[in-house]
Amino acid sequence: SRGHSPGHSPGQLHTWVSEGPGEAQAVCVGCRNDSVGDRCDTCRAGFFMLDGTCTRWAPPGAP
Residue 1 confidence (pLDDT) above 50: no
**DSSP assignment of 9-57:** -HHHHHHHHHHS--TTT----S--TTEESTTS-EEPTTEEEETTEEEE-
Confidence of residue 5 (pLDDT cuts 50, 70, 90): low
Percent of the chain with pLDDT over 90: 43
Gyration radius of the chain over CA positions: 18
More confident residue, 46 or 16: 46
Q: Contact at 8 Å (CB) between 44 and 36?
A: yes
Query: What confidence tens digit (pLDDT) does each residue in 33-63 have?
Result: 999 999 999 999 999 999 999 999 888 887 7
Q: What ranges do the domains of the chain cover? A: 26-58
